[in-house]
Amino acid sequence: MNCRSEVLEVSVEGRQVDEAMLALLHTILLHRSTGKFHYKKEGTYSIGTVGTQDIDCDFIDFSFVRVSSDELDRVIRKAVGEFKDAMGNGTDGMGQISLEFYQKKKSRWPFSDECIPWEVWSIKVNVVNLANEQERQICREKVGEKLGEKVINIVEVINQHEYLPKMPTQSEVDNVFDTSLKDVQPYLYKITFQITDTLGTSVSTTMRRLIKDTLAL
């Protein structure tokens, strides 16, 4: 099985890390979740509805749509919080958070089940330090514009006809979906991250150039 891999990159101010990551991760999961399966008998089932909720960002001029599930939101916020904590309170920095979708393949005892990834989204995050409130306001607008572009990109990629695990039978549903939540059923996924101490000069310069160009208008 070929695993599809997509890379997104954003440059943000430190206080925008949480909202930018939540916006992108929730957008992906919105399109990688279903309603709960209700099995009538083996091979016959109905799928519940998935509610949605509009979320306004506090530090970015941006709103996004997420699955209306407090349980799922808590899981994502916990992962994003750990990512931000690992990045620390430094000025410039770089990190990457990845959202991997996988399915389980049963193995014979005594071996554990094999987890086979089928889609991975990697989000590279560049944190820049800004000099004053005017620059922060411009960054607020620019990051909002960039997130809008990323969301469109995510939807375009997901709408392509690529591999998706086939709908499982009742006995195999836990090999494909996370059934632990009460109100929604995302494909099995895991979130990981890594941190880099230094920020690429070209990325930092690009964000600052955007801000300076706007100030010059």
| 127 in any annotated domain | yes
Confidence of residue 217 (pLDDT cuts 50, 70, 90): very low
Q: Is 17 exposed, middle or buried (0-12, 13-18, 19+ CB in 10 A)?
A: buried
Measuring CA to CA, which residue among 163, 155, 35 is closest to residue 102? 163
Q: Report if residue 212 sits inside a domain.
A: no
Handedness of CA 45, 46, 48, 49 (dihedral sign): positive
Alpha-carbon distance of 11 to 31, in angstroms, equals 24
Range of the domain at 24: 2-202
pTM above 0.75, yes or no: yes
* Widest distance between CA atoms in the chain: 67
CB atoms within 10 A of CB 165: 19
Specify the residue for token string 């572009």: 149
What residues contact 5, with CB distance under 8 A and at least 6 apart?
A: 119, 120, 122
Mean pLDDT of the chain: 88
**Count of structural domains, the chain:** 1
Structure tokens at 129: 């330090």
pLDDT tens by residue, 62-109: 999 999 999 999 999 999 999 999 887 655 789 999 999 999 987 777
pLDDT tens-digit profile of 144-194? 999 999 999 999 999 987 789 998 888 889 999 999 999 999 999 999 999
Does some domain include residue 211? Answer: no
Helices (H), 59-173: 70-87, 133-158
Chain position carrying tokens 């690009």: 206
